[in-house]
Amino acid sequence: MTGRGRDRRSRKGATIVPIEELTREATFRRLAELARRTDPPPPEVAQAAMSTPDDVAKVTRWRSVDDELASLVYDSEQDLELYENVRSLSSSRRLTFEASELLLEVEVTLGRPRELACQVVPPQPAVLEVRTAKGSQACETDGFGTFHVSSLPPGPVSLRCSPLNEGGEPVATSWFRI
């Protein structure tokens, strides 16, 4: 470190080793230290993650264990991945979520703010709740099981569908980003 007097000291007193004398591991340590110092997760990201169980449950009045989880079975973005060279002409994304008794077909328009159109299959009246990390809004579908919501901010979303027909059990989709 003192080699040939080329090391310099910053005002803070940190020793600066000449680049060519840095070993591979020293280079990595320096980089890791730099990431910790200059690129940590912002406090609001940490706070949101820490408060997830409590606040999301409170805000959405919902616990994941109570609802059947509708899993993602189709996502047009995955198609784009498979056919990377095929340019999609539409600026919307289509997703399908499947539960035992129903399907939720979702179309997201990628403008800003996001618009979301949803179709319950088979068509039936239901209450659809759109949940974001900041809160939720609920609305009844029309008689054909369609539902439209505009002005959603980009970010994670989950839909909860409570069929109004007798015997219909609530279904929640996994969280997806819009």
Helical ranges in 14-118 per DSSP H: 24-38, 43-50, 57-60, 76-82
Pick the closer one to another protein by CB: 45 or 73: 45
Tokens of 59: 């805000």
Cα separation, 42 vs 99, whole angstroms: 36
Q: How far apart are CA 151 and CA 156, in angstroms?
A: 14
**Residue closer to another protein (CB basis): 82 or 166:** 82
Q: Is 39 in the site for another protein (CB under 8 A)?
A: yes
Out of 58, 121, 156, 164, name the contact with another protein by CB under 8 A.
156
Interface with another protein in residues 158-177 (CB under 8 A): 158, 174-177
In the complex with another protein, which residue's Cβ is closer, 78 or 165? 78
Residues 107-126 close enough to bind another protein by CB under 8 A: 110-112
Long-range contacts of 9-12, Cβ-Cβ distance < 8 Å, separation of 24 or more = none
Residue reference for tokens 């027909």: 165
Applying CB under 8 A, among 35, 121, 138, 164 the residue interacting with another protein is 35
- Closest separation between CB of residue 164 and another protein, Å? 24
CB of 166 to another protein, least distance (A): 28
Closest CB to another protein among residues 122, 153: 153
Burial class (CB in 10 A: 0-12, 13-18, 19+), 127: middle
How many degrees, rounded to 5, is the angle at CA 90 between CA 97 and CA 127? Answer: 35
Phi-psi domain of 4 (left: phi exceeds 0; alpha: psi -120 through 50; beta: other): left
Q: Which residues bind another protein (CB under 8 A)?
A: 6, 8-12, 14, 16, 18-20, 22, 24, 27-28, 30-32, 34-36, 38-42, 44-46, 48-50, 52-54, 56, 64-65, 69, 77, 80-81, 87-88, 91, 110-112, 133, 154-156, 158, 174-177
